[in-house]
Chain A
Amino acid sequence: MTRWPVSYPLALLIALITAAPIVVLIGLVENPADFLDTRNLDLLVNTLLLMLFTVTGAVIIGVPLAVLTAYVRLPLGKLWLILLAAPLAMPSYIGAFTFYAAFGPGGEIDNLLGISTPSASGLTGATLVMILYTYPFVLLTTRASLLSQDASLINASRTLGLSLPMSLWKIALPRALRGITAGALLSALYTLSDFGTPAFMGLDTFTRVIYVEYNAFGLDQAAMLSLQLLVIVGLILFLESTIGVTLERPGRSLTIWPGRWQVPALLAAVAPIVMLSIVLPLGIFTLWLFREGNAGFELEYAWNSTYVSLLAAAVAVVLALPVAYASIAGRFGRLMDRITYLGFGVPGIVMGTALVYAGLQVPFMYQTLGLLVIAYVLRFLSLAVGSVRSTAEKLDASLTKAARVLGARPSEVFWRVTVPLTFRGMIAGAALVFLEVMRELPATLLLAPTGFETLATYLWRVYEAGYFGRAAIPGLLLVLMSGLGLALMLFGERRAEFGMIEDKKS
């Protein structure tokens, strides 16, 4: 290679910064001699099974929902998208806890309705909860991929006699593979690093060992075990990067008009997911709210959550652009892209502590809002990178060349051609970061300005103390504010959509 692509220096810088907490982790390991403890191998099986089942389930639920929200004209279509994406803002430990409380003999469903349900526990219970709180990763990344596809291939396939479901299966989904795997990857990493859900469901996983070590003040052990987990993360990252892409021009996306009877049928099919992931936890909390009463909540927390999440989403998307483009430009860029994912696979509390060490390198910023936003971006940059990349890599290079020939400098081409055409991916990435920051806990607890409370930290506080009724209002607000944030972003997406229709009208 004679010349580096313009995105490389920036991407390298960003990748190095995101790698800082990982370097901190390596520094915290004091005794690398006992790097491998064979006793942990059994746990690895549980961890990998949970990850495998969760990813499979998240794809099985997320992809059809992506098709539904991308292509099908539904009344209040955007509202359904918002509701279906909202579980991403709900901490999964909350879901796991309410599942545990609701189901089974003696659970709230049994108590209230007298319906006996099997109790949610073990691998099945953990998988179910993890699917419900990670499928929106797949939903959002796949939806962005599907929306950037021109409708004519599906139309061609249908007029050639292939049914709509088969056309989507054989023509649309293979081209959305990168979007699907980008979401599946996030779902896998989230599952790998989550502690609360498997703990509640009584499933022994690798993260439990890390938490036990961490809580027993063995930070060095916890760091080392986290690095071991990163070996799996690295393997998954490698596998995901081997999936190829086909180039195509973006165009006006497909619209499917459902028949009159199909609308209620579709909504009925979607309703259980929303019921289980959002209505159930909020319902259980509300029930307890009536039993216990409420106290101590301030609306300011909702505002704090929302603006800091929006801020982090915006910064993450901007920083994701050079990384995503470097990733498309060449092999080295691809490596930098992969580096940004590492942080997402480290259990939150360990990552939170690593971020404290990293943050203390700039003492004047320590525990300021600015550093908190940077910490969020370090943790979740990969969410934005993946979404932007999966839309951007399908872009026809002739478009940027055309702009160059018209006399535009590379930066102008970037802002006037590339960015508008990857806008969908940026929106999807921003949405993912936004929702993930809404539920982020450890970094917020440790790095926010002292006294800065968010919905997630308040939820944790009352949950830790066992005052579950008080979780109802912040829980509801978490869903509401996430909805508002998403609506704001989708408004931006709609504007991009109009642009697309205008130039293809006939």
Chain B
Amino acid sequence: MLPGGLLAQESQAKIALSVEELPALEGELTLYLGRGEGGLYENVLDAIQQRNPALELNIRRGPTAALANAIVAESRAGVRRANLFWAVDTGAIGLISNEGLARELPQDLTNQLQANFRYEKWSPITGRIRTLPYNTERLTAADVPDDVMAVPDSGLSIGWAPAYASFQSFVTAMRLLEGEQATGEWLQKMDKVARSYAGELGVVMAVERGEVDMGFANHYYTLRLKAGKPDATVDLAFTNNDAGCLVNASGIVALSEGDLPINFIRYLLTREVQSFLSSEAFEIPLVDGVAPPQGLPDLATIQPPDINLTRLADLRPTLDLMRDVGVL
């Protein structure tokens, strides 16, 4: 294993590390992996495992909230099974942090991330941006409002998934940026024109089928749909510097002491892993020097709002607001 000092020096570089520069992983490691993500996260994990034959990697997959609850239950019973928790949701990370279970990460690790994605007790892995997918037979990008607050008055039919965690994070961001009252009014107006779907994949499919003109969804659903069906009649539009183009992140938390969990996280931040997740899973890389997924403009041109992702874990007021308005 490489001495820590060497790694500290390396971390000053702005360009992401290659796996070649990392210490080999040895020993047993249990990862709780929130949500499935099919073969893609698997491919990453397989590749790490293959590079490190001495690593015994156990993976438990489950819905993010269920795994977070299980980790809390385990710690209350004095049982520790997971060394790492990879969550698709910042809320889950908040829950684990509040229980005091998240371990502080070394600065040389967090420094590898882009400046606005550095956190003390968790490491973002990839980003996802809020988008407005629209039906290309009905609309052009210019027809879609570039101000999220103007969407309800646009006269378009809209699909949304209010029960979906990513949407709720988006509403939380709106609350933080625009205030409770404006957000409440926005929800109220939206409720009159929007059609509800169970998830954001459903929203994107509905847009593509022309059930609605446009919708609210994380970017990758559209990109994945288009990858499987190149002639799909759906494309992405973005708002400008508001909650409508919020960049949220999946993240990982180290739950146990020792170098192994930390070094494992380093692997996830390498050039190779980040560019794989970008090109194959259409996730947004959060280290420098790796290209964003095809079909997505440079983040710099979109101007996402500047928001501390940890604050998005404050879901309770959002749910109360949504429920008071009657959209939940």
Contact = CB atoms under 8 A, between A and B. Distances in A.
Given A211-B163, A363-B79, A366-B79, A216 B205 contact: no
B319 A360 contact: no
A457 B70 contact: no
A208 interface: yes
Residue from A101, A352, A366, A446 having most chain B Cβ neighbours under 10 A: A446
Nearest to B67: A446
Given A105-B210, A200-B202, A450-B58, A215 B39 contact: no
Closest 7 A-B residue pairs measured CB to CB? A465-B38, A106-B209, A461-B36, A464-B36, A199-B198, A360-B77, A445-B62
Interface residues of A, number: 54
Interface string A187-208: 0000000001001101010001
B319 A219 contact: no
A212 B165 CA distance: 8
B259 interface: no
A219 B198 CA distance: 20
A30 B78 CA distance: 21
A200 B37 contact: no
A466 interface: yes
Contact of B65 (A215, A450, A463, A465): A215
Interface stretch (A137-145, A288-296, A397-405, A483-491): A288-296
Contacts of A461: 36-38, 61
B101 interface: no
Given A107-B209, A199-B163, A291-B229, A353 B38 contact: no
Contacts of A361: 77
A367 B59 CA distance: 13
A217 B68 contact: yes
Interface of B: 30, 35-40, 42, 58-70, 73-74, 76-79, 81, 91-92, 94-95, 163, 165, 168, 195-199, 201-202, 205, 208-211, 221, 224-225, 228-229, 315-316, 318-319, 323, 326, 328
Interface in A12-40: 39
A104 B211 CA distance: 10
A216 B201 contact: no
Given A200-B202, A366-B79, A446-B62, A464 B35 contact: yes
19 contacts: A39-B326, A215-B64, A216-B91, A217-B69, A217-B95, A296-B39, A353-B70, A357-B73, A360-B77, A363-B79, A366-B81, A445-B60, A446-B66, A446-B70, A450-B30, A450-B58, A450-B81, A462-B38, A470-B39
A100 interface: yes
A214 interface: yes
Contacts of B315: 216-217
Nearest to A198: B198
Contacts of B95: 217
B73 A296 contact: no
A460 B36 contact: yes
Contact of A464 (B37, B59, B163): B37
A467 B220 CA distance: 13
B316 A356 contact: no
Contact of B163 (A101, A212, A218, A356): A212
Contact of B61 (A208, A457, A463): A457
Contacts of B224: 466
B40, B95, B209, B229, most chain A CB atoms within 10 A: B209
Contacts of A367: 81
Given A353-B73, A464-B38, A465-B36, A106 B210 contact: yes
Interface in A460-506: 460-467, 470
A462 B197 CA distance: 20
A214 B66 CA distance: 8
Contacts of B79: 360, 363, 366
A119 B212 CA distance: 14
Contacts of B225: 466
Interface string A361-373: 1010011000000
B278 to A, nearest CB: 16
Contacts of A199: 163, 198-199
Contacts of B221: 466
Interface in A430-469: 442, 445-446, 450-451, 457, 460-467
Nearest to B42: A296
A313 interface: no
A349 B74 CA distance: 16
B141 to A, nearest CB: 21
B316 to A, nearest CB: 7
Contacts of B326: 39
Contacts of A446: 60, 62, 66-67, 70
B229 A218 contact: no
A202 B195 CA distance: 9
A352 B66 contact: yes
Given A100-B202, A445-B61, A208 B42 contact: no
A470 B209 contact: no
Contact of A217 (B37, B76, B91, B205): B91
B69 A353 contact: yes
Nearest to B204: A466
**Which of A288, A291, A357, A363 gathers most chain B CB within 10 Å?**
A357
A208 B319 CA distance: 13
Given A100-B202, A104-B209, A349-B63, A466 B38 contact: yes
A231 to B, nearest CB: 21
Contacts of A470: 38-39
A467 B61 CA distance: 16
Interface string A36-71: 000100000000000000000000000000000000
B198 A200 contact: yes
Nearest to B41: A465
Which of A104, A196, A464 has the most chain B CB atoms inside 10 A of its CB? A464
Contacts of A219: 69
B253 to A, nearest CB: 14
Contact of A202 (B62, B68, B74, B196): B196
Given A218-B316, A464-B36, 8 more contacts: A106-B209, A216-B91, A216-B315, A216-B316, A217-B315, A366-B79, A462-B36, A464-B38
B202 A215 contact: no
Contacts of B163: 199, 208, 211-212
